[in-house]
């Protein structure tokens, strides 16, 4: 592995780490409601939920947005489109707040000038500016997305640590396939039909009690 590739790998791992201070641990992406209502109750139901998000839902859409932001000069228009595609106020809050924190950290730590962007657009632009491989960027984003939601399930279902790792292992080929699809996708491929996940994000707005922001 060349020094440049190794530096790319280490930088994207830092950005996608749970310790990177964008507050990802505070968001469940509607999973809290799905668990509360019994739709996710074990490793298999969690696996199917995340698999569907990767193949037909918000994870697929976000991956495409990361790739398009990396490849496009019109990222501000793409940022507005990303917000318009959010099906609920909590989804907008989730992507805006994490994106804003990500942009601020890039300025403070690396001196990288980024506008106040939603998370997928911010990541795509940052990776482009830092010459990080696009394939590595998208796959790392999807891996972090799944890891964060598995962490939610570990606390709320609850699942054991080993079960959580098995779910992530099972999702690895799905993440790889979603990454390949995102790299080949166009703006017309930005669609989602995971309606129950979208409804979960809406219902979570009034869920009481709740632990997570979304």
In a domain? residue 108: yes
CATH number for the domain spanning 86: value is 1.10.4190.10
**Cβ atoms of residues 15 and 126 within 8 Å:** yes
Q: Please say whether the dihedral angle defined by the alpha carbons of residues 186, 180, 75 and 101, taken in this order, is positive or negative.
A: positive
Please write the tens of the pLDDT for every residue from 31-86.
999 999 999 999 999 999 999 999 999 999 999 999 999 998 889 999 999 999 99
The residue range of the domain holding 60 is: 42-206
**Cβ atoms of residues 93 and 110 within 8 Å:** no
Averaged pLDDT for residues 186-203: 94
- Whether this model's pTM surpasses 0.85: yes
Name, in order, each residue with C-beta under 8 angstroms of 162's C-beta and a sequence gap of 6 or more.
none
In a domain? residue 26: no
Averaged pLDDT for residues 84-92: 96
Residue 107 predicted with pLDDT over 70: yes
Share of the chain above pLDDT 70, in %: 99
The per-residue pLDDT for 211 is 94
How many domains does the chain divide into?
Answer: 1
Neighbours of 13 (CB within 10 A): 14
Using the CB atoms, write b or e for 30-50: b if 16+ within 10 Å.
bbbbbbbeebbeebebbbebb
């Amino acid at each position: 592995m060349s020094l440049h590739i190794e530096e790319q790998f280490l930088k994207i791992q830092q950005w996608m780490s749970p310790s990177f201070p964008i507050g990802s641990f505070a968001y469940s992406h509607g999973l809290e409601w799905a668990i509360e209502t019994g739709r996710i109750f074990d490793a298999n139901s969690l696996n199917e939920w995340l698999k569907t998000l990767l193949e037909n839902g918000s994870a697929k859409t976000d991956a495409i947005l990361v790739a398009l932001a990396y490849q496009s000069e019109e990222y501000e228009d793409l940022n507005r489109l990303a917000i318009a595609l959010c099906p609920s106020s909590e989804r907008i809050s989730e992507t805006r707040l994490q994106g804003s924190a990500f942009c601020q950290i890039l300025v403070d730590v690396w001196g990288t000038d980024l506008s106040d962007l939603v998370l997928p657009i911010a990541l795509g632009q940052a990776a482009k500016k830092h010459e990080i491989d696009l394939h590595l960027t998208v796959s790392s984003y999807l891996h972090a997305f799944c890891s964060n939601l598995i962490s939610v399930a570990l606390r709320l279902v609850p699942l054991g640590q080993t079960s959580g790792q098995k779910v992530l292992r099972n999702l690895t080929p799905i993440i790889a396939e979603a990454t390949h699809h995102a790299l080949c996708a166009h703006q017309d491929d930005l669609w989602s039909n995971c309606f129950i996940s979208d409804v979960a994000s809406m219902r979570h707005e009034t869920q009481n009690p709740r632990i997570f922001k979304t």
